[in-house]
Amino acid sequence: MPLQPWMKLISVDDHLIEHPKVWQDRLPAKYREAGPRIVETPRDGLPAIQSWLYEGRAYPYIGLNAVAGKKPEEYGIEPVRYDEMIAGCYDPKARIVDMDIDGIEAAMCFPSFPRFCGTVFLEAEDKELALLCVRAYNDFVLDEWCAAAPGRLIPLVMLPLWDPQRAVEEIHRTAAKGAKAITFPDLPHALGLPSVHDDYWDPVLSAAEETGMPLCQHFGSGGENSLKTLAPDAPFAVMITLMGTNSMQATTDWLFSSVLHRHPKLKIGLSEGGVGWIPYILERADNTWRKHRHYQNINRTVPPSELFKKHIHGCFIEDDFGVENRHVIGVDRITWECDYPHSDSFWPGSRKRAEEALANVPDEEAHKIVELNARRLYNLPADKPELAATTG
Amino acid sequence: MPLQPWMKLISVDDHLIEHPKVWQDRLPAKYREAGPRIVETPRDGLPAIQSWLYEGRAYPYIGLNAVAGKKPEEYGIEPVRYDEMIAGCYDPKARIVDMDIDGIEAAMCFPSFPRFCGTVFLEAEDKELALLCVRAYNDFVLDEWCAAAPGRLIPLVMLPLWDPQRAVEEIHRTAAKGAKAITFPDLPHALGLPSVHDDYWDPVLSAAEETGMPLCQHFGSGGENSLKTLAPDAPFAVMITLMGTNSMQATTDWLFSSVLHRHPKLKIGLSEGGVGWIPYILERADNTWRKHRHYQNINRTVPPSELFKKHIHGCFIEDDFGVENRHVIGVDRITWECDYPHSDSFWPGSRKRAEEALANVPDEEAHKIVELNARRLYNLPADKPELAATTG
């Protein structure tokens, strides 16, 4: 049976475009000039380019991926202005209208200008301002973006990645205000930070466990790691196709690090890489573990696939092969995403596409995939009290 | 039914360790001092280290992966001497004995000291000597290694990658002597060479087509590409697990380059990355192609998965998930490998492991996977005349 009307779609990976005043509304006066703001650069015969200006650097691609409502024939890589996007990109009330059109109950949105996990602030020179910018973004998400539609926009917060103690404070501060998840780089070492094999992250991971918030690792959030290995003349399609290899690497790092053994309640959500690769990587990781654990500093008693099934979740937009192999992956490990307003999204036909993708999946499993697994992962209240037991 | 006795296992990915005289026996006198030779470095209380010396540089790991016959508990990363390896590593007659023990009919072996596709010679300073070394290796493979057991050791030759015209000459020279396949970097751009998107390779690809020889891309042959993105403190197991992502990248590069459209008879064999990842990558490549082909310089009429099914072959040692999904991959696309004497090998139990892996596969499909697909790929004569039609 296809999706039943009573199943509520929860997207674990959408994107918001920050409106021009997000930081100017919140930063102290002395920081407003250096803090992120929109500037216009005139062009002959064309509309002016709108860019973010932050610490003197321009970031022109405010809406590179804001293609919702466009046909593939209209996709391109030119800068886009606010008035060339549909309002749902940056206006939460318009977003809810677009979600209603799309048949979606709730959505978790990643940042855009600061990048998927706020690395623009990691790279900033003035770290006092950067910390204020992180807090301002999180307050925007909690007080403005998600507050516009409580229960329908799921608060995802970013961390000051350069300072674990401040990160811990920000986790507890935002959890107290209702945050549900943390955006975290898929490959921290690719950003010049300690890797997940280092104890640098322990306080952060403990805080995530204590607050019950998962780490959400959007593919590509660990910088341009996969780009480093691409041929310079490869078409862009090669990079898009291979982006999921970042999630494979993030997964493999977790499974062979000691972190998950030290943080038994840690939850991880991988975004946008699909799920069809998971059985291959887990089988290869287990085979590697079986043959090569004796001479390396890795856990010798728990095979990697067991850790995966306890800690890690994947998600998909279209991945027919992954859905067919859901029992090998684990139905409880799979969530669903919309990716509005990016090019992978099927908006305004996301629910229809999800119905097609799950056409041969029994109701109980489909319900877990589109809704219940996300409720468990983010500690969202059950929509119907009688479902609470299933989501626990 | 498991493997039938009349099915002959053909391994498309084994490894030979070059004996100490491979180059000294063949180079002109003036080059013998600079050409590759074995030197001994004494150690206190331990056997001397044996290294290859070439152009003044030492390469101590002559048998890093020569673990055939050892238990996983005995694996390590120390240098190994010839007298610490079993003779089948470097002696073709001993290899045949080991293949008989293992239940294997024929095997194609990649080089060791020159690396999987001869990049030691690509990096050499004296390119005249390097070209002679490439030819010497190929003559060793054709006249000595494979000649020791015609029909059971399949000649795989390397190219002077730095000179396409010389490479074309070497393809025709070795094909005339009986060569059956060419070892080729999985990611040429990672070696500083033009990528497969460049027309630099066209003469080489045409020669491969004309001689009917496939390009065999062992994972990792394009240098340490995947290592560039690893955390420096990641356990070695992370790299081993992720090596197949190199094959994913090689495949994606081929599928979005214009090469396969210009070289319709080109055959490609991927080695050691398994096959379980193929459906995920093909689905993602097709989805990417559908949405993003309009603004990029990629073919707009043939989806990537169609090219795959015409040109590319994968292989596996143990990949239960891949075998289960053989119909999605295409039974004709799958070959089998032993990997002797490396750590992925199950020697002396390779045939037993293959029987387990194929326990639920119908005879006709199993026969293609272990034997007939390799015969077609390498133009090997059918073992039984009545099978010729199947292998054509």
What would the pLDDT profile of A325-355 be if each residue is shown by its tens digit? 999 999 999 999 999 998 889 999 999 999 9
CB A375 within 8 A of CB A50: no
B293-333 tens-digit pLDDT = 988 889 999 999 999 999 999 999 999 999 999 999 999 99
B327 touches chain A (CB under 8 A): no
Calpha distance B318→A89 (Å, rounded)? 46
- Give the residue-averaged pLDDT of B46-72: 83
- The answer to whether B253 contacts chain A (CB < 8 Å) is yes
Token representation of residue B278: 């193929």
Query: Are A241 and B252 a contacting pair at CB < 8 A?
Result: yes
Domains, chain A, ranges and CATH?
A: 9-18+85-391 (3.20.20.140)
Rounded to 5°, the CA angle B77-B83-B85 comes to 50
Q: Would you state the pLDDT for residue A1? A: 62
pLDDT of residue A382: 79
Q: What is the pLDDT of residue B294?
A: 87
Mean pLDDT of A207-220: 97
Most confident of A133-142, B344-353, B377-386: A133-142
Ranges of H-type helices in B124-269: 127-139, 164-176, 202-211, 236-242, 244-256, 259-262
CB contact (8 A) between residue B344 and residue A291: yes
Nearest residue of B to residue A192 by CA position? B231
pLDDT for residue B252 is more than 60? yes
pLDDT band at A390 (very low <50, low <70, confident <90, very high): very low
Q: How remote is the C-alpha of A164 from its chain's centroid? A: 20
Q: Do B295 and A76 touch (CB under 8 A)?
A: yes
- pLDDT (tens digit, 9 = 90+) per residue, A275-310? 999 999 999 999 999 988 988 889 999 999 999 999
Q: Which pLDDT does position A77 carry in this prediction?
A: 66
pLDDT at A91: 97
DSSP string of A29-44?
GGGTTTS-EEEEEEET
- Coil, helix or strand at residue B270: strand
Instruction: Determine, for residues B237 and A197 on separate chains, whether the beta-carbon distance falls below 8 Å.
Output: no
CB B15 within 8 A of CB B341: yes
pTM: 0.95
Q: State the residue for tokens 């920000």.
A: A170
pLDDT, average across residues B103-132:
97
- Sorting pLDDT into bands at 50, 70 and 90, what band is A383? low
The reply to whether residue A234 touches residue B296, judged by beta carbons under 8 angstroms, is no
Cα atoms found within 13 Å of the Cα of residue B35, Cβ hemisphere only: 23
* B191 touches B122 (CB < 8 A): yes
> How close does chain A come to B346, measured CA to CA in Å?
11
Cα–Cα nearest to A214, from A254, A179, A249, A244:
A179
- B67 CA: distance to closest CA in chain A (Å): 11
DSSP structure string for A245-285: HHHHHHHHHHHHSSHHHH-TT--EEEESS-STTHHHHHHHH
Read off the pLDDT of each residue in A356-377 and give the average, rounded to a whole number: 97
Across the interface, whether the CB atoms of A290 and B237 are under 8 A apart is answered no
Query: B54 pairs with which residues across the strands?
Result: B57
Kindly state whether B226 is in contact with chain A, defined as any CB-CB distance less than 8 angstroms: yes
